[in-house]
Amino acid sequence: MRIECGPCVLRPWEAGEAVAIVRLADDWNVARYLRDRFPHPYTLADAEKFLAKALSGEEREVRFAIETAGGELAGGIGLIPGTDIERLNAEIGYWLGEPYWGRGLAPAAVRAMTEYGFDKMGLARIFAVTMVENTASMRVLEKCGYVAEGRMRRSAIKRGVVHDQMLYARVR
């Protein structure tokens, strides 16, 4: 499945992309606000492990590569569906390699993935959590119609530093 979204395309991950992933992901500026499951440094072994999971089809998480309109891998985006009474919710997460920042790819990808979640997955609510220092991600979410629901004080730790996070959501 390919989802056209203006300046980019959301598409399935492909075997053989490990080197391209490492080239973009092995950057502290990319990893610094992401969960620890996105490692830094980001090695070839990390990329191969990620691709094995993404291509297995066994995970509940929905993952797409973000590709520029010119066909270059730029990053990734995904939805993690909730379970039990939260089964109509999903958390959205995304990242872009630094060479692709400021080109409008993130808002286009988030809009497209949000619509996919509502239309194809039947979700009622999609949320994102970002560290308060990540103002660029907060701007992306706001451009895409996500609303700040609250500040989660001292809710994350990254490299030994405790951070506040913001909870954003969009409802259908």
Mean pLDDT across the chain:
96
**β-bridge partners, 81:** 90
Tell me what pLDDT residue 57 has.
Answer: 78
Please state the rounded mean pLDDT for residues 32-37.
Answer: 94
pLDDT mean over 64-82:
97
Rounded mean pLDDT, 124-152: 98
Q: What's residue 58's pLDDT?
A: 77
Tell me the two tokens of residue 18: 């490990």
pLDDT range class, residue 48, cuts 50, 70, 90: very high
Cα–Cα distance between 55 and 14 in angstroms, integer?
Answer: 7
What's the rounded Cα separation, in Å, for the pair 50 and 63? Answer: 10
Total number of domains constituting the chain: 1
- Domain residues for the domain of 23 are 3-171
Give me the CATH number covering residue 82.
Answer: 3.40.630.30
Position 60 confidence tier, pLDDT thresholds 50, 70, 90? confident
CA-CA distance, 84 to 115, in Å (whole number)?
22
Pairing state between β 8-11 and 3-4: antiparallel
Mean pLDDT on 83-92: 97
Beta strands in 33-124 (DSSP E): 62-68, 73-81, 89-96
